[in-house]
Structure 1
């Protein structure tokens, strides 16, 4: 039997739908375009082209993993974020659209130096450096494996000469002051973990939860921020949508001024911002 690309899409869609994947047709195009080294929007143009059986087998293998809950970013090995492609592995948190709220807020203020605490893939730090020439930045993380991913992303995006990446437990190994400090820390409370979407079980647990009330990281960050912000510098953190008031209070207790809670595109609290009174 001579298989076509359309036959492959049909088979992949059926497997993904049987696995309960929403948008099975869209994800089938993502998987097959990945195998064929093309783009999803070309699938309709090449639908009648022949498809080798071994390529279909490879695609079906990926679809089986996806139906089993593996995130699409882990299958493809990347995630697009703020218009750029970032390598993603099981060692880092998958960049998410809501984090772009933090990027937008940061780019709305002046800065020449930035510190990213818990940098993971580097998507926040490296995006800010790519958007703001000639700013320089420091990214810190406890995971050596995550730092390795961030270094590869920095090189791929051409900002490695302006990004330093080090192992640090929040501010423990940090010296100097920065115009901007950003972070998307682990903010899910331990009691909330069992109810999370199955896909999140494939991500590093230490990037998701503090194993306590979800506020541990914010206490550490706000306590140390004042000593590492330039006069007038800003601290901005991503939060869980129900944490706005609690995190804003920590900002105020730390002496930060102009504290704001910013919503994401869905209208949910997503970023808390404050300024060193300097």
Structure 2
């Protein structure tokens, strides 16, 4: 442990942090990101000037952040931001932290739609607005609606939209389809809660500090997914497609649900780790050609 009054260089601070974050899966990255946050420097500059002495206040602030990270608080909550689809999103404990695997949903939607044609998209359980904002950044012609049952989450999403200058999104407060009446969409996308209540992962890592309502779902994690799959056909246009993220161990259960509710052309996509993470399909009698 370094003396709080000791003169500390960037190199010494990073070493202190790595030694303190032994329970983190990424101690070096965490140390660098948090030091960049308090200094306003880039990661490359930390190594270009390792002997640079930190101001005492910066050193104290850094120690405080490292102690919080060592207690398990996610880096994204400590810095107040997380990158998603190359967008700098503001995040807080009111919302789920966006994950790179969720970008798979965005990629699949981009394969479905033409950026040069209007389209309507519904993002259910929008949280920080990550999916809706990523799509809005790709085409100003798309009309996007983001729905969440958390007022705090919607406020975060709206702040992100304002910060990024992406204003073609309508934000609605409500539980799944309750906020949209009888409206129909070309695309319905959702990353809903899908973790079972007894799953030990809820007590591990960053997940232990994220909002439980955005993670946990009854019926072994399938209740919200089932509701979305059951109700989506009424809200999909003639060529509409439903895309949902789910747990990789739920792939067969989701496929069965899609068959049960009469979807056709059911397809599944792997995440970055090679696990099936996304399922998408079309209500029967729809044309799934690119719009």
TM (normalized to structure 2)? 0.90
What CA deviation, in whole Å up to 9, does each residue of 1:32-87 have, x standing for no partner?
Answer: 11100122121112212221122111101000000100011001111111111111
Q: Pick from 89, 94, 97: which aligns with 1:91?
A: 94
Residues 1:32 and 2:32 aligned together: no
Q: 3-state SS of the aligned residue for 2:221? A: coil
Shift in Å at residue 152 of structure 1? 0.6
Indicate which of 252, 258, 277 corresponds to 1:270: 277
2:195 alignment partner, SS class: coil
Cα displacement string for residues 164-222 of structure 1 (whole angstroms, at most 9, x for unaligned residues):
11111111121311000000000001121466423212100010011432111111111
Structure 2 spans left out of the alignment, 5+ residues: 1-5, 287-291
Aligned alpha-carbon RMSD (Å): 1.5
> In structure 2, how many angstroms separate the alpha carbons of the residues matched to 1:243 and 1:2?
53
Partner of 1:163: 169
Match of 1:154 among 153, 161, 179: 161
For the residue of structure 1 that corresponds to 2:219, the secondary structure is: coil
The equivalences for 1:58-97 within 5 A come to: 58-97=61-100
Aligned to 1:14: 19
> Where do residues 175-186 of structure 1 align in structure 2 (5 Å cutoff)?
175=181, 176-186=183-193
CA distance in 2, matches of 1:208, 1:231: 31
Q: Could you say if the C-alpha distance between residues 194 and 123 of structure 1 is closer, same or farther in structure 2, counting changes exceeding 3 Å?
A: closer
From 205, 229, 233, the equivalent of 1:226 is 233
**Structure 1: segments with no counterpart, 5+ residues:** none
Q: Which residue of structure 1 lines up, in the alignment, with residue 205 of structure 2? A: 198
**Cα 1:264–1:58 shift into 2, 3 Å:** same
Secondary structure of the corresponding residue to residue 159 of structure 1: coil
Whether the 8 Å CA contact 2:202–2:208 is kept in 1: the answer is no
SS at 1:222 equivalent: helix
The farther-off stretch of 138-147 and 46-55 is 46-55
Moved more, 113-122 or 261-270: 261-270
Distance 1:106 1:165 in 2: 20
For 2:203 and 2:20, locate their aligned partners in 1 and report how far apart those are by CA, in whole Å: 24
| Structure 1 segments (4+ residues) deviating >6 Å | none
How many Å apart are 1:134 and its aligned residue? 1.4
Distance in 2 between residues matched to 1:235 and 1:256, nearest whole Å: 9
1:5 and 2:10 correspond: yes
Mapped to 2, the partners of 1:223 and 1:216 lie a distance apart of 11
Matched, 1:109 2:115: no
Match of 1:47 among 38, 50, 69: 50
